[in-house]
Amino acid sequence: MSALPVPAAAAALGVSVPTLKRWIGRGAPVARRGRRGRGCRTLIDPEAILAWRAAQDADRAQVEAALRALAGRIPELLADAAAEAFRLAPDKRGAAWTACAAWQLSLAAVLDDLRACGAEINDPDTIPEPIERLRKIASLRSI
């Protein structure tokens, strides 16, 4: 297909002119940039636009896969950090409760933020072993 003016290219792609202009603003390829004067309008190659959109969709899928992999590791990473903070604390029982609460709140905040970015991420199925240990310490009664 040859290069077409923006309205004709939008019709060929089945999108509105504002949508096509938004894609161009975001980096979609153009056959020729428009400038002022007669016969100097922007020309679009619809096939190049379709290829660009396919690449955008592939990039989005890769980013979502990376976010899912990271989300799967976040609970354990935060648990290790909480366990290390507990190890360094002088008041073990109070620090254990604080570390558990910090883990739960920080995990919820991180996962909610990833979900707000559009990733479909579930809550973790299990609680990491370091956090289970801290929960037991926090629930011990003083003798």
User: What is the tens place of the pLDDT at every residue in 45-58?
Assistant: 888 888 888 888 77
pLDDT of residue 143: 42
Confirm if 60 and 53 have CB atoms less than 8 A apart. no
In a domain, 56, yes or no: no
What is the tens place of the pLDDT at every residue in 28-46? 888 777 666 676 677 888 8
**Residue 14: domain span:** 1-44
In a domain, 67, yes or no: yes
Domain identity same for 77 and 135:
yes
Coil, helix or strand at residue 43: strand
In a domain, 3, yes or no: yes
Number of domains in the chain: 2
pTM (2 d.p.): 0.47
Domain identity same for 140 and 73:
yes
CA 90 to the chain's CA centroid: 38
CA 1/CA 66 separation, integer angstroms: 36
In a domain, 66, yes or no: yes
Domain identity same for 38 and 69:
no
Confirm if 36 and 89 have CB atoms less than 8 A apart. no
pLDDT of residue 34: 66
5 DSSP β-pair partners = 43
